[in-house]
Structure 1
Amino acid sequence: MSDLKPKIQTTKRLHFNSIWLVPLVALVVAGWMLYQNWASQGPTIEIIAPNAEGISAGKTKVKARNVDVGEVSDIHLSDDYNHAVITVQMNSGTSQMLRDDTKFWVIKPRIGREGISGLGTLLSGAFIEMEPGHGDNAQSHFEMLSQPPLTTSEDKGIRLRLTSSGLSKMDVGTPVHFHGFEVGYIEKVGFDIKTGDITYRVFIRAPYDALVNSAVQFWLTPGLAVESSARGVQVKMDSLETLISGGISFGVTKGSAGEAVADFTQFHLYGSRDQAENHRYDKFIRYVFLFNSNISGLEEGAPVEFRGIRIGTVTQVPFHGSSIEKLDALKHPAIPVLARIEPQRIDADFDQGKMTLKSWKELLAKHINQGLRASLETSNLLTGAKVIDLDFVANPKPTQMHQFSGYPSFPTVAGKFDQMENKLAMVLDHLASAPVGATFVQLQQTIEQAKQTFVSMNKTSAQLNELIKDANSQQLPDKLKQTLIQINQTLADYQRQGEVGQSVAKNLQSLQQALNELQPLLRQLRAQPNSLIFNHPAPGDKQPPAGVKTGVSNE
């Protein structure tokens, strides 16, 4: 019976539970999101900065033209602990912007010469600004700029390199002017260790870059300058901006023409416009001037003039020369001064080759034989500045051109003021050495003799009066009597009480008073002959010695 029972087979069926759909969908979504996040990410770059002030990982954005292009993901110190390394995760599609000329800088509140900037970050926080590059080479390591650049790669213009020596340093952002109008600024400041020069990279904006050519000169615009020279005291004042920070100006000097220049052409930066203009006189003849007078007031850069027209420049005061000539200078009173004659100042055809330096040397030598001499003249009585003046002198002494440290020596004479001073000193010396005392003695004797003559005339007049009144005299002829009366009248006129006598007495009295007043002056001239020119302090009151009565009662 057991075989007749039907066989029962058991089978297991797998049933899919819908609950598993939830994690499956979540896994697919998460994978898709990870893929989307990976696909949306751009390259990772590193920025080296002096410090990470105001920058936070996961918060600080990187922007280009105020559009988010990345975010700071990590900040750590460099291996040498001297810099901060900022890791930035860039967005997708930014690879083309990361080139070797790409620039990064931090936008934060700043107060500088250009004004106040970055105030919007007071609420939003600092962020990193990016200027996309256009170079050929891709790059992932960059250096943070210390401050925002003044120009961008899209700004049109020309960049130049300026060098200066012996001048004070100027900062980035210092303006560049042309005829007082701002046309550019300093982009970068450096220092050349080999030459000791300060270097500047300046940017001239378009369309003003067309003003720059090979003939322009650059010089400092100090804002406020007080210059004392042979022309007097000059006060120059520019704008308020240049008064605070200074500036640079450029222009084409008179008679110069130039050609267009390329980027980063080098120019020299001069201290003033006068130095820049004098630089174009590049052909000159050097002379040494030996002066036997005081050269105080003659400075480097002072003009060399011919009858008021500038024809040269003083280059070294005093001129040192060789060591042997320095020793000779101790034996001789002449002080050497090195100066140069610049024919280009007065010869318009010099650059055209009509006159050469050789022909100018021959011309000057000819004029020296004819009496051309140099002298020191005071051009400004207020400042005491002096110039070297060339002019012809009358009856010149024969002279020859000597050499001093390899330079010809220009013959010199005393200046007009020195000549006048010497002549006046001679007059005072003669006056001081004159026998004034003997003359006073003779005048005193003459006055005494005149007094005695008046006494004799009074006696004679009295005797004539008695003779005329005498009875016996009445018997004399009328003509003789009349003659005696006239003689008596004449004697009366010449007496002290008479008309002539009173006049002579007054003159003698005035002469006596004048002589008495001249005696202190003559004693002073005998002691100090130059006291008429130079003021001397009056001697103090003599103090009586102790114990001597002064006539003033102490009661």
Structure 2
Amino acid sequence: MSTQRPTIEESSKFNLITSIWIVPFIAFIIAGWLAYQYFAELGPEIEIVFPENAGLHAGQSQIKYRNVPIGTVKKIVLQEEGEGVTVIARMEKSATPYLNTHAKFWIVKPVVGISGVSGLETLISGTYIDMYSAKGGETKNFFHGLTQAYRYTEDGMYFQLSAPSSYNVKAGTPVYFKNIEAGQVEHVNISLDGQGVEFVVFINKLYVPYVHRSSKFWVTSAVEMSLAHGRLDVNVAPVTHLVQGGIEFSSTGEDASNTVPEKFVFRLYKNANLAEGQVIGKGGDFINTFEILTEDSIAKLKKGALVQYEGYEVGRVKDIRLSYNMQSHKILGQILVDIDLSSFASKHDDVTSCQQKFYQALEEGLSAKISSADPFTGTLFVDLVFDTNTTKRSIIHGEHFVRLPSVPNDTRGIIDGVEKLVASLNKVVDESAEPLQIIVADLQKTVNNLHAMTEAKNFKTMPDEMNKAMKELTTTLRTAKKVLKGYDSNSLLTHQISQTLKEVTETSQEMEEFLKLMNRKPNSLIFGDK
């Protein structure tokens, strides 16, 4: 019996199904598919530049849009110039349509400020980057981050204010309407010309309809006092106002349906009393700058002083520049004033028509006069008056601005007038000076000023002591005038002038003490010097 061995036939063909390489091949296919899936879903890489890193961590901090994570911070590097940091982040594919010119990025972190505490959720989740955007616009992958949260325009509107000083208003200061918080101050910057401060406030959508051209903004006071009809009213602001400060704005309802122009600038007043003054005009583009040249003393004229016409505020003093005049040996004052030209035109005139009508008024005699706003201290303001002695004249163009013709100031502070009279009378007594016409003229001006002041209605409401002192001063000056006009002999004149001088001096000293008291304790008229 023979044994037959099976023959084994060797095959040179490669069979993938039975090959040992099938396992790594399948693994390679799976890995390739997973890689494809990963890169297909992978979003773009973007760079965001911030002034500084405010708590972000590479590999941890997220980028959110509408509180949904859409990206992760991968790397944080310092810029080559050292002026900021660049945050490199990987975004999800779903965020690609929003990475365009509309995109805004800012860092959300815990902040404790005058407006309260914000970003408390970051104490648990960590600091993150928030984002706002909208579809459309050119696609971008490089952005500049914001230093504070972006305000959605559909949630409210921005308005611009200006003032000579910051009045201690800072970013985050609340804005109130009828003691209800309606917005807040977003930015505080020095104006481009360096002459003032500009504020950008955000008003919530609910209160935007109450802001219109006639609205006024002012800094809220901690304590407000008023005395009317013999009744003292003291209003103390809430504790939150005392700590945070605030800005209040008014709304009369006029022009409420008309939107405020885009470049319209509101004036921020120092307090409610200044804001309540009678102001006419539309403001905004209707405000033009003019210059006034005068050799009258303007030492007591301050920046921000009123420009008035017929008792109404039509502008403000913008700047004051002084120079020495070699010919007259006097100080020449150049006063720059901002005037609302719409105050001198009809309601519906445009900027060009208002300017034409104002220039016509200048040709017909409208002039600037430096007048006293305070009869005691001589504080000055610019009063626009018509010079009846002026015929038709041409518009004068200065180096940069149109020039307002000026008329001399024929008034001065009451105390300044009394002091000058005392000095003149001393000279008469000491030197027996003959010409008395100058003294008589000074007496006449001072008596007229005092008479006008004491006959005013608001003067009659002043405290009895002050009223009595001023009336005594008026009587004394009238007596002095009669004495000088009735001058017959030196002996009689000297005796009478000496007596009058003594009374004037005593009254002047009383007034000086009174002014010192007012400067030291302004509320002494109400509470006394206790």
TM-score, scaled to structure 2: 0.55
Aligned to 1:36: 37
Q: Distance in 2 between matches of 1:244 and 1:140?
A: 43
Kept in 2: contact 1:72–1:86 (CA 8 A): yes
Distance 1:222 1:35, change over 3 A: same
Aligned to 1:172: 171
Secondary structure, counterpart of 1:54 in structure 2 = coil
For residues 112-511 of structure 1, what are the structure 2 equivalents within 5 Å? 112-149=113-150, 151-153=151-153, 155-168=154-167, 170-194=169-193, 196-213=195-212, 215-224=213-222, 238-251=237-250, 257=255, 260-261=258-259, 264-272=262-270, 274=274, 277-280=278-281, 310=311, 327=328, 406-408=405-407, 413-414=445-446, 415=448, 417=450, 419-425=474-480
Bigger-Rg structure (1/2):
1
Secondary structure, counterpart of 1:82 in structure 2 = coil
Kept in 2: contact 1:401–1:408 (CA 8 A): no
Q: Distance in 2 between matches of 1:313 and 1:7?
A: 125
Kept in 1: contact 2:216–2:251 (CA 8 A): no
**1:127-163, CA deviations, whole angstroms, 9 ceiling, x for partnerless residues?**
22222334422221112222323x225x333333334
Distance 1:252 1:410, change over 3 A: farther
Offset of 1:58 from its aligned partner? 1.9
Q: Distance in 1 between matches of 2:504 and 2:48?
A: 80
Secondary structure, counterpart of 2:63 in structure 1 = strand
Secondary structure, counterpart of 2:32 in structure 1 = helix
Aligned to 2:24: 23
Aligned to 2:416: none
Aligned to 2:84: 83
Distance 1:327 1:180, change over 3 A: farther
Query: Unpaired runs of 5+ in structure 2?
Result: 227-231, 350-356, 394-403, 412-444, 451-472, 511-530
Offset of 1:95 from its aligned partner? 0.8
Offset of 1:109 from its aligned partner? 1.7
Q: In the comparison of the two structures, how many residue pairs are matched?
A: 407
Secondary structure, counterpart of 1:93 in structure 2 = helix
Q: Which amino acid aligns with 1:203?
A: F
Q: CA RMSD in A?
A: 6.1
**1:178-214, CA deviations, whole angstroms, 9 ceiling, x for partnerless residues?**
333332223344444356554333332223222233x
Offset of 1:435 from its aligned partner? 12
Q: Which amino acid aligns with 1:35?
A: Y
Distance 1:33 1:311, change over 3 A: closer
Offset of 1:302 from its aligned partner? 7.6
Q: Distance in 2 between matches of 1:36 and 1:240?
A: 59
| Alignment counterpart, residue 11 of structure 1, candidates 3, 9, 12 | 9
Secondary structure, counterpart of 2:250 in structure 1 = strand
Q: Distance in 1 between matches of 2:476 and 2:380?
A: 17
Identity of matched residues, %: 23
Aligned to 1:60: 61
Q: Distance in 2 between matches of 1:279 and 1:53?
A: 48
Q: Distance in 1 between matches of 2:159 and 2:493?
A: 79
Secondary structure, counterpart of 2:117 in structure 1 = strand
Q: Distance in 1 between matches of 2:475 and 2:364?
A: 33
Q: Distance in 2 between matches of 1:426 and 1:118?
A: 75
Kept in 2: contact 1:217–1:267 (CA 8 A): no
Q: Which amino acid aligns with 1:24?
A: F
Secondary structure, counterpart of 1:36 in structure 2 = helix
**1:252-295, CA deviations, whole angstroms, 9 ceiling, x for partnerless residues?**
579x6476236733223243453674353999xx999999xx99
Aligned to 2:105: 104
Q: Distance in 1 between matches of 2:163 and 2:217?
A: 10
Distance 1:222 1:535, change over 3 A: closer
Q: Distance in 1 between matches of 2:145 and 2:250?
A: 36
Kept in 1: contact 2:278–2:313 (CA 8 A): no
Kept in 1: contact 2:305–2:380 (CA 8 A): no
Kept in 2: contact 1:288–1:409 (CA 8 A): no
Kept in 1: contact 2:372–2:379 (CA 8 A): no
TM-score, scaled to structure 1: 0.53
Q: Distance in 2 between matches of 1:105 and 1:218?
A: 32
Offset of 1:51 from its aligned partner? 2.7
Kept in 2: contact 1:218–1:267 (CA 8 A): no
Q: Which amino acid aligns with 2:121?
A: G
Offset of 1:408 from its aligned partner? 4.3
Distance 1:243 1:384, change over 3 A: farther
Stretch deviating more after TM superposition (191-200 or 125-134): 191-200
Offset of 1:304 from its aligned partner? 8.7
Q: Which amino acid aligns with 1:185?
A: Q
Secondary structure, counterpart of 2:34 in structure 1 = helix
Distance 1:325 1:44, change over 3 A: same
**1:45-73, CA deviations, whole angstroms, 9 ceiling, x for partnerless residues?**
11112233422222222222332211122
Distance 1:66 1:287, change over 3 A: closer
Q: Which amino acid aligns with 1:200?
A: F
Query: Unpaired runs of 5+ in structure 1?
Result: 1-5, 365-373, 390-398, 438-521, 537-555
